[in-house]
Structure 1
Amino acid sequence: MSATFEPHAAPPSKPRARILVVDDDADMLRLLAMRLGAAGYQVTSVGSAEAALSQLDIERPQLVLSDVRLPGKDGLALFDEIRSRHPSLPVILLTAHGTIPDAVEATARGVYTYLTKPYDAKELLEKIAQALALGAPTSPSSQADEEWRADVISRSNRMADLLAEARMIAQSDASVLLRGDSGTGKEMLARAIHRASPRAKKPFIAVNCGAIPEALLESELFGHVKGAFTDAVTNHKGLFQTADGGTLLLDEIGDMPPALQVKLLRVLQERAIRPLGSSQSIPVDVRIISATHRNLEEAMAEGQFREDLYYRLNVVTLTLPTLAERREDIALLANHFLAKLARKYGKRSSGFAPEALKALTMASWPGNVRQLYNVVEQACALTTTPLVSLALVQRALRTPSTEVLSFTDARQRFERDYLVGLLKMTDGNVADAARLAQRNRTEFYRLLQKHELTPGLFKSDGSGVATGPHDDPVADE
């Protein structure tokens, strides 16, 4: 049982707070919804603690009002669950006289307050107003205050804490390392930090260190002069110069080749770049933000990432949560994407069916926000009605999508599968495999080591076991 009541008229002076009411008595639910609605609140009512927790996954209210005695989980168990998920969300308990001791105990554990049934309507509204006032920000944010993070769609506590830290860090010139799984929004957070910084009116430039071939990356970063190499027919300004005065995001910094790591370290130390083919250094004033989904500590231990560069880049670390760790944002993000995509596809949209939205909030999301966008886009492209159905969402969630992989991840997977194919074809003979790949044997061994492939395992003469990418004992897929 779930219902939402919104009054026809509301106080125009401020946005209406949303209250989640939990009671297994249908008459009590209707009465509370009417009284709170008449007072200007938006009310969502449910009949059990389990339904309340599901509703919290879809949309977070500003306050929860719950009866203590409920079927299944009781009001105290509900409070404990809310406290673990949303520590700052105020909870008011309604209790009969016989359960007052339980309510007193809950108050000592953090419940905002409790009221006994039959409750006084005026007292209830006063307690609600007090709880909401305590939970409200001390001063309303101006529109300008929010512009810096306008692209970061979120209302979760986890993201609110992260954004508060990001905004504080933005005021300095300290290098920032953004950590997080692929698809969590590292570039978007980097842009927000730039917009909140004194460099906001200067360029923001992003480069994916894993997506540009090693032979071109140095020229892209530092530039080159005419004649520096065969195809250098004109002078080329690198990304460091392009970002001068602003911010440079080095995305997937963990994939930067070791030789370039040395040159980057020198640039950070000297605050100057030397284009390829030039004997002159050019001063640059750039704030560096780097991002990675790799474990750089492990990469350092394996000799794949320089320790001195790591400490230059990692002055401040911010870690983005996975989408599963901020489920209260899923409905908000899904509706935001749907509105945006409906305009792209020229479709009229009235949102998701309730069961479709619930399916989105309960999904696992290994590809994080990027995967959510892809699922919403597929559902939007295929829908023939303004309301996106559960069936379309389930279809999109079941469909494997290579778009969920980042370019770097997809390239790594292809590279490994390619090497496995060559080793199987040549019966584990590295010289023959390197010849087919048109690479020298030293470089080919380096690639095998990178992907933890042992040639002997591909011999079929009894000295090893021929394997493939999915049944290889050293595979990490």
Structure 2
Amino acid sequence: MLNSVIVVDDEAPIREAVEQWLTLSGFTVQVFSRAEACLAQLPDAFPGVILSDVRMPGMDGLQLLAELQAKDRDLPVILLTGHGDVPMAVDAMRDGAYDFLEKPFTPERLLGSLRRALEKRALVLDNRTLHEQADHRSRLDATLLGMSPTMQTLRRQVLDLSPLPVNVLIRGETGSGKEMVARCLHDFGSRADKPFVAVNCAAIPEPLFEAELFGHESGAFTGAQGKRVGKLEFAHGGTVFLDEIESMPLAQQVKLLRVIQERRIERLGSNQSIEIDVRIIAATKPDLLDEARAGRFREDLAYRLNIAELRLPPLRDRREDIPMLFSHFSRQAAQRLARSAPALSGAQLSHLLSHDWPGNVRELANAAERQVLGLDNPAAEALAGGQSLVAQQEAFEAHCIRSALQRHRGDIKAVMNELQVPRRTLNEKMQRHGLVREDFLAEGNSPR
């Protein structure tokens, strides 16, 4: 339960008495002699109650109430009044004050009002958190597309990890969306309003790597014209995304490890140590520990980067998401190119589902754009993969069953009715395609 109280009163004896009562009663108390000081130091979404005198020099209690209402209409404010101020305090309650206490008041009266106000504040903040979480889920569903169980798990992991101050390692094949996941970890966390700096470690020539990451002073090396802030320093307060981290030169791995440990950097050509606050999100295709055993990566750095790991499934392992993704990319391309998005036939969809998509989501997006441009037929594109007719039919059948199981959340009877197949046939096909009913169950569903 919340227990924070701010007391604003210009009379020191009252401030001290109230602070003593509340502290002995288990509250966390902060006191101010002037309303202006309270406003200047009040944090956003303050998790508590404001207790303020009405008559004070400078900004009075009513003006403070108005300022607080402008910042947060749900913040409880209890006014302390003299006898002559009661009618004014009643008007203030109509304007949003939570309660008023007429001086002199008893500790019991004060404590009762505060506890009720804190209960209300707790409910308000809980509701805000729930709405914010729902908004995040909605936005994330629209960003990391897919209804396959693996994508649902990935979205939950991203929401869980995004607010935490830990380094994250993302593993996935080329084109599987590693940078997008890194961006979501940044955008849905507390660093969202700070820089997100992406660095492709494989694209930087080794002689320039240190200068790119750490910056340099003027004249630090031949051609170093003027001072330059490096990527790590520029990202202060935010996130650095190190893509293809396995390509980082070993000499720079040592320096990155030191940055992670000490949270400080030194520019090339400088002896000055600069404090930085960055979250490191790294991405890799191979297993970094395998790279370490082969002598290509530092094992201690691998462990430092892999506080939490996210694994991105290749597109071939979530074929049920292909129709949704292809449609999404087609609409995007059509809007950008001012063209219409052609509809897919059943045969074209079957071909899309049978292709292995070695380039993953990136390859699928390119195929959708080519289709909108009329440069490629997605059916021909998939056929080029050499899949037999039987393999394509099998892939399409698996997609249909997966989609039905997903829509009905594992309700076998509903799937049988939709697909119009007997239970024994459905069971055989699910077993052949490696589909397990439990993977699609909604919480609380009982077996059928």
TM-score, scaled to structure 1? 0.51
1:177 and 1:314 in contact (8 A); partners too: yes
1:73 aligns to what? Answer: none
SS at match of 2:202: coil
Q: Distance in 1 between matches of 2:350 and 2:303?
A: 43
Deviations 1:174-210 (A, max 9, x none): 1111111111111111111111111111111111101
SS at match of 2:207: helix
Give runs of aligned pairs for residues 83-232 of structure 1, distance below 5 A.
142-148=134-140, 150-232=142-224
1:378 and 1:396 in contact (8 A); partners too: no
Deviation, structure 1 residue 141: 7.2
* Structure 2: gaps spanning 5 or more residues: 1-129, 386-448
SS at match of 2:282: strand
2:307 aligns to what? Answer: 315
2:140 and 2:155 in contact (8 A); partners too: no
Q: Distance in 1 between matches of 2:154 and 2:311?
A: 8
2:365 aligns to what? Answer: 373
Q: Distance in 2 between matches of 1:148 and 1:199?
A: 16
Aligned residue among 391, 394, 403 for 2:379: 394
Q: Distance in 1 between matches of 2:328 and 2:133?
A: 21
Provide closer, same or farther for how the CA distance between residues 139 and 207 of structure 1 changes in structure 2, counting only shifts above 3 A: closer
Which amino acid counterpart does residue 381 of structure 2 have in structure 1? Answer: A
SS at match of 2:216: coil
Which amino acid counterpart does residue 201 of structure 1 have in structure 2? Answer: D
Deviation, structure 1 residue 350: 4.4
1:379 and 1:396 in contact (8 A); partners too: no
Q: Distance in 1 between matches of 2:136 and 2:294?
A: 46
Provide closer, same or farther for how the CA distance between residues 340 and 353 of structure 1 changes in structure 2, counting only shifts above 3 A: same
SS at match of 1:364: coil
Q: Distance in 1 between matches of 2:132 and 2:278?
A: 33
Q: Distance in 2 between matches of 1:163 and 1:249?
A: 19
2:343 aligns to what? Answer: 351
Give runs of aligned pairs for residues 262-411 of structure 1, distance below 5 A.
262-382=254-374, 392-397=377-382
1:459 aligns to what? Answer: none
SS at match of 1:351: coil
**How many residues get paired?**
256
Which amino acid counterpart does residue 270 of structure 1 have in structure 2? Answer: E
Deviation, structure 1 residue 358: 2.3
Deviations 1:429-451 (A, max 9, x none): xxxxxxxxxxxxxxxxxxxxxxx
Q: Distance in 1 between matches of 2:260 and 2:307?
A: 13
Which structure is higher in helix share? 2
Which amino acid counterpart does residue 393 of structure 1 have in structure 2? Answer: P
Counting aligned pairs with the same residue, the percent is 44
What RMSD, in angstroms, separates the aligned Cα atoms of the two structures?
Answer: 2.1
1:253 and 1:292 in contact (8 A); partners too: yes
Q: Distance in 1 between matches of 2:191 and 2:142?
A: 17
TM-score, scaled to structure 2? 0.54
2:354 and 2:382 in contact (8 A); partners too: no
Deviation, structure 1 residue 149: 5.4
| Structure with bigger gyration radius | 2
Q: Distance in 1 between matches of 2:341 and 2:293?
A: 51
SS at match of 1:278: coil
Deviations 1:67-118 (A, max 9, x none): xxxxxxxxxxxxxxxxxxxxxxxxxxxxxxxxxxxxxxxxxxxxxxxxxxxx
Give runs of aligned pairs for residues 218-257 of structure 1, distance below 5 A.
218-257=210-249
Deviations 1:267-319 (A, max 9, x none): 11110111111111111100011000012122111111111111110111111
Deviations 1:133-182 (A, max 9, x none): xxxxx999744542255321222211111110121111211111111111
2:400 aligns to what? Answer: none
2:195 and 2:237 in contact (8 A); partners too: yes
Give runs of aligned pairs for residues 15-54 of structure 1, distance below 5 A.
none
Q: Distance in 2 between matches of 1:152 and 1:346?
A: 25
1:241 and 1:284 in contact (8 A); partners too: yes
Q: Distance in 1 between matches of 2:330 and 2:263?
A: 44
Q: Distance in 2 between matches of 1:231 and 1:158?
A: 49
2:240 and 2:281 in contact (8 A); partners too: yes
